[in-house]
Structure 1
Amino acid sequence: MQIPPNEHNNFSLSRFESMLKTNSVLFFDSEEFEDIIQHYLENGKIALAKKATKLGLEQHPTSTNLKLFQVEMYIFENKLDIADQLLDELHVLEQSNEEIYIQKANILSRRDKHKDAIRLLEQALEVTNDESDVLSLIGMEYLFLEDFENAKYFFMKCLEEDEEDYSALYNIIYCFEYLEQHEAAIDYLNDFLNKNPYCEVAWHQVGKQYYFLKDYKKALAAFDFAIISDDRFIGAYLEKGKVLEKLKQYKEAIESYSITLGLDDPTSFALLRIGKCYEKLGDPELALQFYSKCVEEDALLDKGWIAITDYYIKNKNYKKALYYIDKALNIDSENVLYWKRYAKINTRLKLYEEAEHGFRRTLELGNYELETWLMRCDILIQLGEYEAAVKNLFQASEFYPENAEIEFRLAGLYYFLTEDRKAEFHLKNGLKFDPEFSMIIEELFPTVYLRNSVKEIIKKHKNPSV
């Protein structure tokens, strides 16, 4: 009785794993070893794939395919020189084996020699029976080179070979998008749809191009066609929801997002957008319910925590806002968006030491917006940390030179530190850059503003003839 292929593969795999457990030695033909290795590679079991390759070569030392698997292991371990040497040996024996060219190209690609890799893949193209795979690899090399026109050309050739190669289709559209050729992408997709009118992926991509072009009605029609083609296509419902939001049709957007919740496990994106729609519809309780579900579904999605926090900030419930941003920071203490909100909330609550810590962390994490430097300075002034405030402002001035808001603050601080010459220098700078901001002296340093010498400098700037 002949064993069906799948059952035969499962039988070989069971025998192999039994052999490993018992330390006995069983014989397998080379094709069985190839199937076993392929199974382990596809399932990410690299150690077992290596073991099978080693045992396979012990039983079949001349098998080219097993040696090619060995090359794959070496490449995976970044032992590129050994892999390259083994490929050279195989090339002498089999000059028409496409896999040898493909693996040599893989090594060159890893060494960032993409043009050389393309030349080898073109040689593989001459000897292969499966042009689609090689064309795709050439396309990827052109992507690495950021040569999007050539990449697009080769992915198009892939799609001509196999109209169901949606990976190639996505790559083609990626190239169009990178080149900002949205109208050309629509034309290409329409030509493709003329031959494949029920291709949900193509309709979905047409919709995305119209979305980029802000033609929301045509985008909506395209996503509807994608759903007609496949009524379980989650991506189309999500994109349709986004378009309906743009059209301010929030109830319909909620309906579209909600369909996805019944098709598969809920996505944090859909839950977040439903919450946003309910907030726009003026239903805060339902909005908060969905924001909470969003962070339960994916605690690492910062947009969920930010949505809850911002909701409470908007409603001036700063204690609740602080509670949620603290929870978010416990999950991800390196998120600059969390720290900025933490700092602002604590400022509102007049918890100045915590606010200063928040602004400092925001800067340490690379948020160099002028507002962050200025707000930290103002908090340091509240805390009486004048020298730290000066240091903070000089750091800010490296990013924002000749800035009046920085200069007026420096002037006030130097007056506080009784360094009047430096204070006058920065006061005059501030007046030179933008005199409108002189009110900073009045607001942040009222005692300084009352000084006759300060009033005289400001007055003199406004009326040079006096």
Structure 2
Amino acid sequence: MALDSNERPNRPIAKFESMLKTDDVYFFDAEDFEDIVHHYLNNGKIALGKKAIKIGLEQHPHSVPLKLLEVEVLVFENELDKAGQLLDRLQELDQNNEEIYIQRANIYSKRDNHEAAAELLRHALTLSEDDLDIHSLLGMEYLFMDKYDQAKTHFITCVAQDPYDYASLYNVVYCFEFLEDYNGAILYLNDYLENNPYCEVAWHQLGKLYANKSMLKEALSAFDFAIISDDTFVGAYLEKGRVLERMGLYGRAIECYEASVELEDPTSYAFLRIGKCHEALGNMELAKYYYYQTVHEDPLLEKGWLAITDFHIKVRDFDKAKKYINKALNIDDKNAFYWIKNALIHTHLEMYHDAEASYRQAVELGNYEMDTWLAWAKTLLLLEEAEAASLVLKQGLEYHPESPELRFYLIGCYHRCNDMDALREQLEIGLKSHKNGMELLKRDFPKLYESSWVRQLVKEKK
């Protein structure tokens, strides 16, 4: 039996949900159905939204807004052909409905045709009186096309119309940053804050920009204003702590990190930074405590395990350092830096085969730094593999041809291999290129440096 809506609660959503639990059928205005559908879609309850659309169209079969909501759901579910067909029928009924063009744009966007999507949205702008959402969509389409200037223009329009549209505000700053126009971003945010002085989001973003430009006093002031605007803004406390660390004010930085821990559930990041600050202050036991708190809070945070590793390296407990670098490697074994750290630890433990394998892994992962080639070669020489060390150094010189360290260590390796022709060739090159190269030879291979024939060659080249 159909009941008049006056016999039921006035709130459409409550009334609709009550109807679903009974066999009764309630009548709603088409506008009520629109509100119900929007409520469910905005809360991610797609199945209930679809049900509301179905019942709504049964009661109001000619409602264009409800049919457009049906299109929106079809697009969301990637039923793009069905959505397009329904839009074709709707456009025959209403040529000037901007929502039709918006939904067509969404279809093109889903098909990665962002130029076509933007063109449709620009047409929708000519039809709409409330164009905030269209500018936001246009901004996103230009982001997809890497057209950051155009995207920025539309997001700025969004913020101008709604200063509390923080998603667009973030996107404005993102566009400035991508364009590497940091000064432009700072000017924009300062202008915005003239009219919105208590916007913690803008102060926070401004502080990060100042920090990136190493304008630390200005960054600190910006984060202070963010906290004044919202004293529960955890992100501002964390960023302020980072700036104070950079300024060497470790005690005040700890206070900021501790404030963030008190405001919400403790984070591994905050514990890690507190540990780093205590270490900088020489409070080694407290540092160790917070490093262990870091990995207790997030056992998968390899930076926490790395901090514990570095702590044990500092106190020269290399057995424990080995244990903890393995924890980091178990989480991320594609990080070349961790393999270099692993090699360093194994070298101190005189486990040279493991150290050599770690340097090899670091290079395979793309670490071609001069120090890595040199350390790898030195490890091979400790293993009395002079020929292998020579090959490593030659490869390193391909990446660092001007490196005196690699060239003169290679000279020493050739001496160990008794390859005198190659030694002489490299020594002649080294003497031409590096005035101070002989000091490196004296440091690493003193016997070779003292040999009469090397001294004679040096004399000849002067």
Aligned CA distance change for structure 1 residues 331 and 215 (closer, same or farther; 3 Å): closer
Deviation at residue 38 of structure 1 after TM alignment: 7.9
Counterpart residue identity of residue 390, structure 1: S
Deviation at 1:258, TM superposition (A): 0.7
For residues 372-416 of structure 1, what are the alpha-carbon distances to aligned partners after superposition, in whole Å with 9 as ceiling and x for unaligned?
A: 111111111221233432332333233223433333333333444
- Helix, strand or coil: the match of 2:436? helix
Task: State the percentage of identical aligned residues.
Answer: 45
Partner residue, 2:151: 151
Instruction: Give the equivalent residue in structure 2 for 1:72.
Output: 76
Contact 1:74 1:82 in 2 (8 A): no
- Is the Cα contact below 8 Å between 2:207 and 2:222 reproduced in 1? yes
- Which of 4, 25, 30 aligns to 2:11? It is 4
In the superposition, relative to structure 1, how do residues 54 and 358 fare at CA in structure 2: closer, same or farther (>3 Å)?
farther
Report how many aligned residue pairs link the two structures.
447
Query: How do 1:78-157 and structure 2 match up within 5 A?
Result: 91=91, 94-109=94-109, 113-128=113-128, 130-157=130-157
Matched residue of 1:401: which SS? coil
Alignment of 1:200-239 (within 5 A): 200-239=200-239
Measure the CA separation in 2 of the matches of 1:299 and 1:366. Answer: 27
1:298-350 per-position Cα deviation (integer Å, ceiling 9, x unaligned): 23333322222222222333222222112221222222221111111111222
1:118-137: CA deviation from partner (whole Å, max 9, x where unpaired): 22211122234542221112
State the TM-score, normalized to the length of structure 2.
0.82
**Displacement after TM superposition at 1:197 (Å):** 2.8
Deviation at 1:231, TM superposition (A): 1.5
Amino acid at match of 1:276: K
- Asked if the contact 1:50–1:73 (Cα under 8 Å) also holds between the matched residues in 2, the reply is no
CA distance 1:267–1:441, shift in 2 (3 Å): same
Q: CA deviation at 1:274?
A: 1.1
Are 1:257 and 1:270, in contact at CA under 8 Å, matched by a contact in 2? yes
Matches within 5 A, 1:342-357: 342-357=342-357
Cα separation, partners in 2 of 1:102 and 1:350, compared to 1, 3 Å: farther
Contact 2:9 2:15 in 1 (8 A): no
The code of the aligned residue for 1:247 comes to M
8 A Cα contact 1:159 1:168, kept in partner: yes
Q: Which residue of 1 aligns with 2:434?
A: 434
Residue 51 of structure 1 and its aligned partner are, at CA, apart by 9.3
Inter-partner Cα distance in structure 1 for 2:20 and 2:288:
51
- 1: CA distance, partners of 2:414 / 2:48: 69
CA contact (8 A) 1:68 1:100 kept: no
1:298 matched to 2:298? The reply is yes
User: What are the residue-to-residue correspondences of 1:308-457 with 2, within 5 Å?
Assistant: 308-442=308-442, 444-445=444-445, 448-449=448-449, 452-457=452-457
Look up the equivalent residue of 1:421 and give its one-letter code: D
Query: 1:435 deviation in Å?
Result: 4.4
Residues in 2 aligned to 1:85 and 1:451: alpha-carbon distance in whole angstroms = 89
The Cα of 1:371 is off from its aligned counterpart by 0.9
8 Å contact kept, 1:359–1:372: yes
Q: Which amino acid in the other structure matches residue 119 of structure 2?
A: R
| In structure 2, C-alpha distance between the alignment counterparts of 1:12 and 1:426, rounded to whole Å | 90
Query: Matched residue of 1:153: which SS?
Result: helix
Change in CA separation of 1:449 and 1:224 when aligned onto 2, cut-off 3 Å: closer
- Structure 1, unmatched stretches of 5+, are 16-25
TM-score with structure 1 setting the length: 0.81
Q: In the superposition, relative to structure 1, how do residues 201 and 50 fare at CA in structure 2: closer, same or farther (>3 Å)? A: closer
**SS state at 1:74 partner:** coil
**Quick check: 1:280 aligned with 2:280?**
yes
